[in-house]
Structure 1
């Protein structure tokens, strides 16, 4: 039987077996461990649990981004998430804004901010 433990809310297994007890995201853990083992430039003395924790962290980050982006799409009454919503999402969530502060999204358009509208104020 595979060894199981909790990381956040999701159960992960150290071995992937095709059982009903093993979660479906064990393939992600396997892929992260393959990428982790290919290049050993930083340090070869890395625990085998690193890929497990890295995949859990990536899954949590993706869940947060999808939640914020989905809320941005619902605010504009859209039925699907577009790249523009992904570009605008970090403005609504300060932690994401720190993470992707100077990222450039291809074909994302210009994100509306208050700085853009300061020069266009009509003064009487």
Structure 2
């Protein structure tokens, strides 16, 4: 066995060098892959974070617009409610269901679209 190894020592040395080079090449490529994967994961995470921040900002703006619109609608409803109460307390004659004040309140509500 020793004589066989001594005869083919150049071949064994070449094969060992080849195996060492291939192993180093594979290790380098796996390290590059890991670095690339980590950098892309960090980039995607940053994009998702930025998107979440932008979405939260838009949600706050939408909520503020909704709340201000809601306040306006509630105020209009409150005014209508008071006007209707005043109109209802007036005497209504049998031949007329809604007087001119009530009709103007109804028309104003229809015109507002609320």
TM-score of the aligned structures, taking structure 1 as reference length: 0.26
Computing the radius of gyration from Cα coordinates, the structure with the larger value is 2
